[in-house]
Amino acid sequence: MTDAVRIRNLAWRAGKEFAIRELAMTVPTGAIYGFLGPNGSGKTTTIRLMLGMLPPEDGTIEVLGHSVPRFAHRALAGIGYVPERLHLYQGLTVDESIRYHRAFYANFDGAEAERLRKRFGLREDQLVQRLSKGEAGKLMMMLALSQRAELLVLDEPTDGLDPVIRREVLGALVEYVESRSATVFISSHLVHEQERICDWVGIMDGGRLIAELPMQEFRSGIKRLRIDRAPAVRDAAPFALLSREALTVDQEEWVVRGWQPEMREWFQRAGADVRDVQDLDLEESFVELLRGARTSNQETR
């Protein structure tokens, strides 16, 4: 099995307001895949489709080699899931939550759960209903990691956590991946957080996957160019043009994806001159990809 998750032509609609359209996504086995997008872009809906919680209208979903939703029960046996919202019984203690969770998973590692409980500073007798948001987040992550799952699916696992707790949770996640060669699918709108741990990125907007690429390409392949005598025609360009803006009568600013230094020659052949090539940070790259996709979508309507 080369891919932990493989989705093709996926479609799902919620009334007239929102739809997942022609979604294709590939999560390589062993990858830490960052699933990025603004709130309301369809990240949580995609996760629910992936886990068999929602029935797709069209398309195929394969998770850990199993077709979903038909064989979702087989896929779920190898998945550790941390949802966006707390899903534990409020009246249980931390210890009771561990024992309850362990009953459902044959590979649950009680010794690892105890180690993580101590590392995260959770008391056995604490009631779930009295946990802070950070403590509840650590408990859910502890339970998922203790399952010894092949695939971890994490929906905004650090949203609202303070920086110290966020670092603790992400540190435990990275250690788990290194020791188990597991696959991680982590949904978030925190771009810089993903940069530190992910090696693949998928970007969601308006129910569409607008980009899927290695983190290295995301980090280094998007540039801002200042161009004298910019060519009007862009169809034959060796890169993807995300945006263009006139600065003066003779100069434009382009944001491009897939830039390589030798591409200056393409501009020279068109009678243009690249005056400056600027790196973008991760958040700027994320915003430009969204802006380019939204502009392209409006042009095709």
The enclosing domain of 181 has a CATH number of 3.40.50.300
The Cα–Cα gap between 222 and 177 comes to 28
Q: What is the pLDDT of residue 52?
A: 95
For residues 25 and 159, state if they share a domain: yes
* Pair (175, 288) in one structural domain: no
The number of beta carbons lying within 10 Å of the beta carbon of residue 299 is 7
In one-letter notation, the amino acid at residue 285 is S
Distance CA 146, CA 117 (A): 10
Using alpha carbons, list the distances in angstroms from residue 95 to 92, 98, 104, 110, 130. 8, 5, 15, 11, 14
User: Residue holding tokens 């992550």?
Assistant: 141
- Tally of structural domains, the chain: 2
The answer to whether residues 45 and 173 belong to one domain is: yes
Distances (CA, A) of 265 to 31, 232, 262: 35, 16, 6
User: Based on the domain organization, do 21 and 74 belong to the same domain?
Assistant: yes
Mean pLDDT of 25-46: 93
Domain check: are 140 and 248 in the same one?
A: no
Taking residues 273-294, what's their average pLDDT?
86
Residue 1 has what pLDDT? Answer: 57
115: pLDDT strictly greater than 90:
yes
Q: Is the pLDDT of residue 293 over 90?
A: no
Q: Which of 182, 217, 252 delimits the end of a domain? A: 217
The pLDDT value given to residue 278: 92
Res 234: pLDDT: 61
More confident residue, 160 or 291: 291
| Same domain flag for 19 and 137 | yes
Which tens digit of pLDDT belongs to each residue from 220-260?
A: 888 999 999 998 766 678 888 888 899 998 999 999 988 88
Q: Among all chains, which residue has been given the structure tokens 């987040």?
A: 137
User: Do 80 and 151 touch, CB atoms closer than 8 A?
Assistant: yes
Highest mean pLDDT among 60-69, 80-89, 219-228: 60-69
Percent of the chain with pLDDT over 90: 56
Encode pLDDT of 126-137 as tens digits: 999 999 988 998
Domain boundary (217, 241, 263) is at 217
Count the helix, strand and coil residues of the chain and give each as a percent rounded to the nearest 5. 35, 30, 35
Using 50, 70 and 90 to split pLDDT, how confident is the model at 298?
A: low
Domain that holds residue 283: 221-299
**118 and 257 co-located in one domain:** no
* More reliable by pLDDT, 154 or 295: 154
Verify that 253 and 295 share a domain, yes or no: yes
Predicted confidence at residue 218, as pLDDT, reads: 81
* Tens digit of each residue's pLDDT (9 = 90 or more) over 173-227: 888 888 888 999 999 877 877 888 899 999 999 899 999 989 888 878 889 999 9
Mean pLDDT calculated for residue range 117-122: 92
Of the pLDDT bands very low, low, confident and very high (cuts 50, 70, 90), residue 100 is very high
d(CA 22, CA 20): 7
Are 281 and 145 in the same domain? no
Say if residue 57's pLDDT is above 60.
yes
Q: Are residues 128 and 265 in the same domain?
A: no
Average pLDDT on 43-67 reads 95
